Structure 1
């Protein structure tokens, strides 16, 4: 039985790819009292309501995380919060930096303060690989948000609320995935554009991402930044799994894009422990009584976690089987 079983759960950004997968898992496996979907787009909320047949356990709150008062109202009697709301498009962030700061940074602080005020027990915030050694505005805002959530445990030291962060990379099957584009181009007999033929990425599916978040609620004390230990893949292998025999052409890295995905930088690696299926970055300073997990294993000096130095890799056949499972 999960700590979430029978509870009241709020999901910010709940109409996104992760939110929909999390809602389905919660309804099917957690027997929740309520799942509150907090998002700002009424059309997306209507579309997601159709997916779940107006399940009476679901509550629909229109609101923006920039609006602290609305968050306060939505969090009344909430036990657990999954913070998935964010602006995410890298190129859009470069043209609209202040809007990303308002949502990803100020909005995150609003979630923290509303959670403490409402007496929420635990909050898990979703991060991104782009927050590790950020080279673009989006990554910088998410790194800031990560630090805000870890520091939120200082603010909440005399309160019951605790905060942790999960960080993973691109999710296979999520909105904006390259997979539908590759399939469409292959059907037309066209060459597939690869940003750089040397690119590698971590591979995680939506069900795996949801389970990782669920397990993080179980394990967290507050203050951890969790990173899943998952296989890497070559982007060219992904293309061949989607479109066997297709021609590929190199179009070069886009602004703000990395050749390899990084989830733990060398500097962060000094605080990393290997704990079962994950790495846990320990907080630098913990005034709320944090104790490192007894079963955590130290990593080697100079450790960093990047998709090209991983010790696990997916083959083309393994990627194809994942694609065929319709994740």
Structure 2
């Protein structure tokens, strides 16, 4: 699918971008264009990939349609990763979140259609399901724009993936907790009942490729993934550190933060199907020609919603997950 193809990755210098580019190179593409605002990360990434001649780094912002247009010319596939992602930042600067996550996504859609791109894969988040914060709201709007683009008069196909917390990525709670253990001897947790979905970076990119290879346009792919209580995760990390003097402080919920996350909500479950042993697929409420017919033989899910408080890992399972990822 990607052999001798030109690929654009927006926001490609983050953790997802590194792993996506690494795996894309195994398909022998013609060129991978990495489009981001971060000059320093681009320089470091270029060195880490040994100045691979197939990688072309472009400094630009998805808010600027002219720069995006130039970067997308001649592109076959787009992976849209670029976004403002931190909940407190988006709460404090909602207009910037709106411009990046919503207007920027529409710019990607317009550009992909204009340039005749074959397929666009949009990277979303569990926070987009029944959003309680501005970040989630903008990602939900981004999803809806991407899905709606399939109704336009274009051959470009648009699909979404929705994931949970990726282990060990930039700003990950694991790194935060390990630093707090090491430097303060105290971990801060917003609420002791808080739960989250977790998946490895490899599984996250596996889901990206699943959507790229098997979608027909308009779906949201959701991986079935493990969940855990954040306090249990913290206690496993404390035990692994070997320290006996580490305390836990409950800080209180931050603005827009949920106790439990959803990968699909009660409003989405009536149109969500069990795709296979590892994935659900959320079908849109709007009509996209051929989409519902394509999935007509699949069974609807037998869940009211997909909530992170369900099917929690025990501490031993959390420990095994962290050991597998090399975090302890």
Give the TM-score taking structure 1 as reference length: 0.93
List runs of 5+ in structure 1 lacking aligned partners: none
Match of 1:298 in 2: 300
Indicate conservation of the 8 Å contact 2:270/2:300, yes or no: no
Assess if the C-alpha contact under 8 Å between 2:121 and 2:208 holds in 1: yes
Shift in Å, 1:295 = 5.2
Q: How far apart are the structure 2 equivalents of 1:77 and 1:216?
A: 22
- C-alpha distance after superposition, 1:170-219 (max 9, x if no partner): 11111111212222332357232211111111111111101110111111
The corresponding residue for 1:187 is: 182
Question: Any unmatched runs of 5+ in structure 2?
Answer: none
Cα distance in 2 for partners of 1:282, 1:326 equals 36
1:13: which partner in 2? 11
Deviation at residue 16 of structure 1 after TM alignment: 0.8
* Pair 1:66 & 2:63 matched: yes
RMSD: 1.7
Partner of 1:201: 196
Q: Comparing 134-143 with 10-19, which one deviates more in the overlay?
A: 134-143
The Cα of 1:294 is off from its aligned counterpart by 5.1
1:206-253 deviation line (CA, Å, top 9, x unaligned): 111011101111110000011111111111221122121643232221
Equivalent position of 1:320 in the other structure:
319
How far the C-alpha of 1:10 sits from its partner, in A, is 0.8
CA distance in structure 1 between the aligned counterparts of 2:112 and 2:22, rounded to whole angstroms: 24
Q: Deviations over 1:51-95 (max 9, x none)?
A: 111101101111110111211111122111110000112122222
Q: CA offsets, 1:145-193, max 9 Å, x none?
A: 11000001112xx422000111112111111112122223323572322
Tell me the distance in 1 between the aligned counterparts of 2:32 and 2:317. 34
- Output the TM-score relative to the length of structure 2: 0.92
Instruction: Compare 88-97 and 205-214 and name the one that shifted more.
Output: 88-97
Following the alignment from structure 2 to structure 1, what is the Cα–Cα distance between the partners of residues 315 and 64? 45
Q: How does 1:152-167 map to 2 (within 5 A)?
A: 152-155=149-152, 158-167=153-162
**Whole-angstrom CA distance in 1 between matches of 2:78 and 2:252:** 39
| Aligned residue number for residue 269 of structure 1 | 269
Q: Is the 8 A contact 1:282 1:292 kept in 2?
A: no
What CA distance in whole angstroms lies between the structure 2 residues aligned with 1:295 and 1:19?
35
The Cα shift of 1:321 comes to 2.9
Aligned residues: 319
Q: Once the 2 structures are TM-superposed, how far is the Cα of residue 97 of structure 1 from its aligned partner?
A: 1.3
Is 1:37 the counterpart of 2:34 in the alignment?
yes
Q: How far 1:136 moved relative to its partner?
A: 1.3
Residue 46 of structure 2 corresponds to residue 49 of structure 1: yes
Of 106, 111, 114, the match for 1:114 = 111
